[in-house]
Amino acid sequence: MTIKDLELKADVIRQDILKMLTHAGSGHTAGPLGMADIFTALYFDGLLNYKPNRPDWPKRDRLVLSNGHINPVLYVTMAHAGYFPHAELKTLRKFGTRLQGHPERVRLPGIETTSGPLGSGISQAAGMAYGMQMDGEKLQHVVCVTSDGEHQEGNTWEAIMFAGKYRLRNLMVIVDRNNIQIDGYTEDVMPLEPLSMKYQAFNWHVIEIDGHDFEQISGAYNQAKAIFEKPTVIIAHTIAGKGVDFMEFDYRWHGTPPGKTNIAGDPPPRDQLRVAIHELRTLQGKIKSEHEK
Amino acid sequence: MNITKSNKLSNKLFKQNIDVEPIRVGFGRGLLEAGKKNSKVVALCADLTESTHMLPFKEAYPDRFIEMGVAEQNLVTVASGLSAVGKIPFATSYAGFSPGRNWEQIRTTICLNERNVKIVGSHAGLSVGPDGATHQMLEDIALMRVLPNMTVIVPADSYEAHKATMALANKKSPAYIRLAREGTAVVTTADSPFSIGKAQVLCSGDDISIIACGPMVYEALKAALVLKHYSVSAEVINCSTIKPLDTETITASVKKTRRVITVEEAQSIGGLGGAISELVSSRFPVPVVRLGVQDRFGQSGEVVQLWEEYAIDEKSIVKYARELVKKVKQR
């Protein structure tokens, strides 16, 4: 895909995220919107090796979603990639669904780990990477997507220490550095900086990128694959709520879907989805939406 | 005493010279053998390789041994990841730390995630002795038993630990195996039957069912011998699989004796006593006396002192069995 096509794909994914969350009536909004570009790149820019019709294909790269609560972006991207019918997105969080409120591996083929409780994704990804190295075959890559807030968990640092010791070169961590968490800004709740120096001190290769720049995303991914002596972390600076002006940078949109909450200065709940979709369709006013043609 | 022949118990039972060996040693041998039979078996340890008896495995298969350092949350989650790529990990530490510290990780990344990880908790129970309450893990059976998909095994001696370890390597499911540190009388033999989910009636009796696990199995057998002199015929059951419980064997015994005592080196709340009480109350309600630690913590001391203080030794079993027989008329 060209960068233009990737941007359009990410835009449609964001619209689907908002629609499915509104339909579900609960769930997380800001994180999924912020990570839509990275997930688009992983699945549609040729970064991950995968076969949607064979989710258990042994040669696939493994995508481990550590911060399970941003699963709307994973579900929507997987639907677009062909893992399951697009219409199933409407079942998010409903009784009997494969699209559980937090991702469950056993229910939905293509999900690599069950997650939600924070801080154990890097460990599992490290275990996978280590196991692949034991078999000594041509290595697949294990990509762990994690949040910045998760770096307040002790388990996260145990895993970072472990991967550094064993030089897990086929392990790549992508940190969604959006600076927000439920109680506020990360640096107010429990400061993480200097995050890149912390990773360096644990013997990791560190790359920092703009998480909304497709050239930087694929560049960092390919660099990480080329680093042979240690694991790589890509600290992706992202904007929580990216693409919808009234949600961007606002931690109050972390855990609520459109249409549920009155937030001062934002559109009233009944208008939130419509305004957000309109903004996305016009790429924040840069193009005319199809309704205005 | 009606020792069940099919169990092929030690011929030194009740003798002074009965073999004594820590249960964890049997695990070490089982792990080595499981590793020899299946190259997918891998072992992880959190800085306790020698005392958990993983050294023979580490020396035989250095490429399949992973030193995790003192990090029990990472221990079980890395194991989950290894299982995801087809390995059969045995994640080992002291029970107080694993599953003591990492229960949520076990719940989410192993049980809910249906990963084939074996959690090995050594040094469980009061018999850690002088180390005191912090290291005497008493809540592990309860913690592991409530988790869906989890198998829970408490071997009675080193032979059973060996067999249980081998059996678990062949069973594709999450499992917890509990080991004790001190030397334990070797009640069974290499030929004794063992299968996951099967309780063994070690000696048959009509007046009372004594259901025990781990090192308490020998205490129960010794108690049965003493009870015979008081004309109490006790049935002793080795319930080494706490989950899934052998409901058939236990219910049959309880229907016969109508009196039950459970004995364990753990909190009886939620432990073997909890499991048996849940079964008995729903299938065939009769009185159950639960011997175990009664909602207290342990403390430093010698094993015999502790077993006496917490009323789980042979003498206590005899005392409570006689009381129960006196109190509850069978028919």
Residue B197: CATH number of its domain: 3.40.50.920
Interface test with B, best of A63, A134, A137 (most B CBs within 10 A): A134
Q: How many A-B residue pairs are in contact by the CB < 8 A criterion?
A: 100
Q: Report residue A283's pLDDT band, with 50, 70 and 90 as the boundaries.
A: confident
Does residue A54 fall inside a structural domain? yes
Say how many Å lie between the first and final Cα of chain A, rounded. Answer: 26
Considering only CB atoms, which chain A residues are within 8 Å of B89? 127
Q: Are B188 and B215 in contact (CB under 8 A)?
A: no
Average pLDDT by stretches of 10, chain B with 331 residues:
91 96 97 98 96 96 98 98 98 98 98 98 95 96 98 98 98 97 96 97 97 98 98 98 98 97 97 98 97 97 97 98 91 63
Does residue A283 fall inside a structural domain? no
The residue segments making up the domain with residue B299 are 2-14+193-327
Average pLDDT over residues A70-78: 98
Does residue A243 fall inside a structural domain? no
For residue B264, indicate whether it is catalytic: no
Q: B80 CB near a chain A CB, below 8 Å? A: yes
Query: Does A120 sit within 8 Å of B109, measured CB to CB?
Result: yes
Question: What is the residue-wise DSSP string for B150-188?
Answer: -EEE--SSHHHHHHHHHHHHHS-S-EEEE---SEEE--S
User: Is B240 found in the same domain as B101?
Assistant: no
Q: Is the dihedral of CA A174, A177, A183, A189 positive or negative?
A: positive
Residue with token string 């193009």 = A287
Residue B187 to residue B215: CA distance in whole angstroms: 9
Check residue A243 and give its pLDDT.
Answer: 95
Q: B104 CB near a chain A CB, below 8 Å? A: yes
Q: What is the mean pLDDT of chain A?
A: 95
CA distance A165 to chain B (A): 10
Does residue A113 fall inside a structural domain? yes
User: Is B240 found in the same domain as B304?
Assistant: yes
Does residue A17 fall inside a structural domain? yes
CATH number at residue A43: 3.40.50.970
Lookup: tokens for A17 = 């995220």
Q: Which of A116, A117, A124 sits opposite B84 (nearest CB)?
A: A124
Q: Is the ipTM of this complex over 0.90?
A: yes
Q: Report residue A293's pLDDT band, with 50, 70 and 90 as the boundaries.
A: very low
Q: Which of B33, B72, B139, B265 is catalytic?
A: B72
Q: Report residue A288's pLDDT band, with 50, 70 and 90 as the boundaries.
A: low
Check residue A258 and give its pLDDT.
Answer: 95
Does residue A247 fall inside a structural domain? no
Lookup: tokens for B166 = 């081998």
User: Is B131 found in the same domain as B38?
Assistant: yes
> In 3-state terms, chain A is what percent helix, strand and coil (to 5)?
45, 10, 45
Query: Does A129 sit within 8 Å of B81, measured CB to CB?
Result: yes
Nearest residue in chain A measured CA to CA from B86:
A131
Query: Does B81 sit within 8 Å of A158, measured CB to CB?
Result: no
The last residue of a domain, from among B155, B185, B215: B185
Q: Which of A114, A117, A154 sits opposite B104 (nearest CB)?
A: A117
Q: How many domains does chain B have?
A: 2
Chain B (14-43) residues lying within 8 Å, Cβ to Cβ, of chain A: 42
Q: How many domains does chain A have?
A: 1
Check residue A282 and give its pLDDT.
Answer: 86
Determine which helix (DSSP H) or strand (DSSP E) holds B250, and give its type and residue range: helix B247-257
User: Is B226 found in the same domain as B140?
Assistant: no
Considering only CB atoms, which chain A residues are within 8 Å of B112? 104, 106, 114
CATH number at residue B115: 3.40.50.970
CA distance B191 to chain A (A): 35
pLDDT in tens, A123-166: 999 999 999 999 986 789 999 999 999 999 999 999 999 999 99
The residue segments making up the domain with residue A38 are 3-237
User: Is B294 found in the same domain as B198?
Assistant: yes
Locate all alpha helices (DSSP H) within chain A, ordered by sequence.
Answer: 3-24, 30-34, 36-44, 71-81, 121-135, 154-165, 186-189, 195-201, 214-226, 269-281
Check residue A136 and give its pLDDT.
Answer: 83
Question: Per mean pLDDT, which range of A121-125, A225-229, A284-288, B308-312 is the poorest?
Answer: A284-288
Check residue A139 and give its pLDDT.
Answer: 82
Q: Are B238 and B190 in contact (CB under 8 A)?
A: no
